[in-house]
Structures are given as C-alpha cells and as structure tokens.
Amino acid sequence: MSSNAVVVEGLSKRYRIGAAHTDYTTLRDRLAGMFRRMGRAEKREIWALRDVNLEIPQGEALGLIGHNGAGKSTLLKILSRITEPTEGRALLHGRVASLLEVGTGFHPELTGRENIFLNGAILGMTRAEIRKNFDAIVAFSEVEKFLDTPVKHYSSGMYVRLAFAVAAHLTPEILLVDEVLAVGDIEFQRRCLGRMNEVARSGRTVVFVSHNLDSIERLCTKAVLMRRGTVEIFGPTRDVVAAYLARTERSAIIDLTAFSGRSGEGRAQIMGVELLSADGQQLLDSIPFGESFRVRMHYEAKERLSGASFGFGLLSEKGARIFITESFELGITYDLEPGTGKVECEIHSPNVVPGVYRLELWLSDIPGVRATDHLASVGEIEVTPGEADVRSIATLASGVRGFVYVDCAWGELSKGPGRQP
C-alpha cells in the first residue's frame, strides 16, 4: 500500500467564463449564441489550477496558503470529488471527510440528530460507528439543546460547529478543511485546531486551507504556497509562511469586487476599502506610528437594510486580531438604500507597533448577531516608525514588545521597608 495518503499528478482545472450548460439552453439561447459567435470568436477561459503535482504522506498535516484566487479551494474541491479536473488526476488512499463550507452535506429540514446520522452515512460510516461517536460529536458541537430542531433554524455558528464535529469525529483517514473555521468564535477555533492536531497525531492526514497563518504554523508540519493556480513553494511550514509574507504586495486601495473569501448572506457587500490620513485628504499605503488614520469602506446594498452596522479590525501578519471596532457598539447604525455608498471610520492614535498588518471588515444587518458580509483577512497595510518621540522605537518592531505600545508612567523609588513575608 502506498505511504502517501494523497497523490496529485499534473492536475489542472479550467473554467469558461459565462459559459452556459448546453443541456438546458432554449432555441432562443442557441440562436443568440450563434449570432454572438459570428460577431466575435473570443474565448474567455481561466485556469484555476495548472499542472499541480503533490505528494502528501500519511499522517501529514499540510497547510495551503496564498492570496485569494490562487487555487487553494479549487484544489480542495477536486480532492473532495465535488468537481472534476480538466487534466491530470488525484489519488486518495483512505476514507475522506471534507468541510469546505458551512453545513456541507446537511439537509435543512432534518434535525441536528438526523443530520449526524445522514452525514455519517455519506462519509461511509456504519450506524454502529456513528452511535459510538455520537456523544462526543454532540459535546464538541455544543448544540445539545437544539439537537432535535431542524438545522434550517440554526445560526451559522451552530451549523459549522455541528458540521465540523461530524467530519472530525467519524474517523476519516483524510480530513479536508477550508476557511470555514473563520465563522466560529475564538474558543471554537482553538478547539477545532486541537481536534485536528489529534487527528494528525493519530496517523491520519489533514489538509487545511486558511488565511490565519498562526493556525497554519501551529497545526501544519508542511505547507504549500500557491500562486495563480500553481505550486510556488512546498516545504516546512515556517519557511513557506516567511516566503509568503515577504512576497505579499501592499496597496492603499483594495478592490474587493472579486474577493472570494467572504461569508454572509450578501444582502449588502463591501466592494472596496481605502486607508486615508486623519483629515481624509491623503491616500495612504503606510501609517506612521502613533498617528490617526481613516478607513473608508465602499459598499453595495442589494436591498434596503435598516439599522445596519459596519465593523473594522486589524490583524497581525499571521492572523492574530489586534483590535476591532463596530459602529453599533458606539450607538451608530445606518439605513442603507439599494445602490452604492461609502462610510468612514477614524482610528484615533492606535499606537500599533511598526510592522505589516491585514484588515478584517464586516457589514451586519442584525448588529452584534449576524453579518451579511464578512471579509476575514484582506489587503495589507504597513505601520512605519514615523517621527513619534518614543524611546527605543527601533526595538518596537522586533516583536518582543507585543503589538501595541502603551504610554505608562513609573513613580519614584520609595525608600524604606518593603513588603514583609
């Protein structure tokens, strides 16, 4: 038997932009298409993957990283047999469980209990195996009170907790996980990483896609950096992450119209973000240490939203959250009409130490409860030392002083007896 759990040979995937499925076209569609072809013979194709070759040994925890559109999720969909490759092949040795989006394989009309058995059966488990792991699945997902409620009434967080619990506890030989863990809270993400560590240590294989580089480094022994559908670097995780951070492009204006790593119902979406000086006049590609700046979000509402809330967060290079702010928490909400618009937030003297950071953005239609659009990690911005009068500012970017500079005042040394034992 092969010592490799996954073997990918010459894998390529091509998509035709705007191509319709010919089985369902009407006569009108065919005639229109004929005249279009007569007018111009333009072919619009995108290669989401191009000649990818990989070997993943059994028991390996492999991380897939790269910019949005690099081909990470497409590769996972091919490994999960959701889509077929255009060229090449992928060989998987063992039972596969995949979690590529919230509630994958769940039936909305069935209860949580019924979906555990349904999803387990889809993964090839016997009823006895499912019963054996049932209590552990319920305990991990923390949905015991709602176990006999149809999952269509679950929140997105409950959905993903139950879906992950089923996929991770039904003893797959290969576990494929996409960026869905961003839906959960910090404690849930920590438990998920712990569970995936257990899976990997038990000799099974994990393939993990995430923009949270801290999670990738904690979980994965090897990593792949993908770029434009190809494998750019494959090696030890720390080396691959360092190369990725060194090559990341920085931009003051971030166009998000084609951003694929967003979640939410999409009733309104953030289409772009700009960073500006405190007076809103100058576009920034870096922020001087200690100086205020503005975040300008461009949005498009597909329908009227009443009482909407915008949020902004700053993340470290590896995905650790530095701070967040949301308009709702400050008593400010917005009534959005269908169409486009923009909103600004001023960040007062954040004192974030020099370094490179990423942005987290969201737009909530039910503030504090549900985001209609959430972008977990976008763009990059650099905080530079600037001209602030701070002692030892050269050492701030070293990392040993954390992410935030706090201006403190130490008192005089008081002579006399100290604290008695």
At residue 386, the pLDDT reads: 61
Indicate whether 18 pLDDT > 60.
Answer: no
pTM for this entry: 0.57
Confidence of residue 9 (pLDDT cuts 50, 70, 90): very high
| Mean pLDDT score, 61-90 | 87
For the cut 80, the answer to whether the pLDDT of residue 103 exceeds it is no
pLDDT for 262? 86
Question: What local confidence, expressed as pLDDT, does residue 361 receive?
Answer: 93
**Higher-scoring residue by pLDDT: 200, 361:** 361
Element spanning 45, H or E: strand 45-57
The residues near 233 (Cβ < 8 Å, ≥ 6 apart) are 224, 225, 239, 240, 243, 244
User: Can you tell me the mean pLDDT for 326-343?
Assistant: 92
Distance from C-alpha of 214 to C-alpha of 216, rounded to nearest angstrom: 5
> What pLDDT does residue 73 have?
84
| Residue whose token pair is 């985001």 | 371
Question: How far, in Å, CA of 312 to CA of 297, rounded?
Answer: 9
Q: Taking residues 372-384, report their average pLDDT.
A: 85
Query: Which 8-state DSSP code applies to residue 408?
Result: -
pLDDT tens-digit readout, 292-305:
999 999 999 999 99
pLDDT in tens, 214-260: 888 888 999 999 987 899 999 999 999 888 877 665 556 788 887 87
| Helix (H/G/I), strand (E/B), else coil: 72 | helix
414, pLDDT greater than 80: no
Q: Which residues are paired to 355 by β-bridges?
A: 383
Which of the listed ranges 257-266, 308-317, 348-357, 399-408 does the model predict with the highest average pLDDT?
A: 308-317
Which segment, 151-160, 201-210, 333-342, is predicted with the most confidence on average?
333-342
pLDDT band at 47, cuts 50/70/90? confident
User: pLDDT tens digit string along 121-142?
Assistant: 877 778 898 899 899 889 888 8
* Residues sharing a CB contact under 8 Å with residue 97, sequence separation 6 or more, in sequence order: 123, 167, 168, 170, 172, 174, 175, 176
Overall average pLDDT of the 385-390 stretch? 55
Tokens 């959250």 sit on residue: 321
Helices 156-169 and 186-201 pack at an angle, to 10 degrees, of 10
The DSSP annotation for 272-296 comes to EEEEEETTS-SB-SEEETT--EEEE
Least confident of 213-217, 308-312, 322-326: 213-217
Residue 337 confidence (pLDDT) = 93
Q: How far apart are CA 257 and CA 266, in angstroms?
A: 12
Say if CB 168 and CB 196 are below 8 A apart. yes
Task: For residue 183, give the nearest of 147, 216, 158, 206 by alpha carbon.
Answer: 158
Q: Give residue 99's pLDDT.
A: 73
Q: Is the confidence at residue 38, as pLDDT, over 60?
A: no
Using CA atoms, how far residue 62 sits from 7, 121, 204, 211, in Å, is 13, 26, 11, 14
Residue 40 banded pLDDT, cuts 50, 70, 90: very low
> Rounded mean pLDDT of the chain?
80
Please check the confidence at residue 14 and state whether its pLDDT lies above 70: yes
pLDDT at 417: 65
- Tell me the sheet residues that pair with 216: none
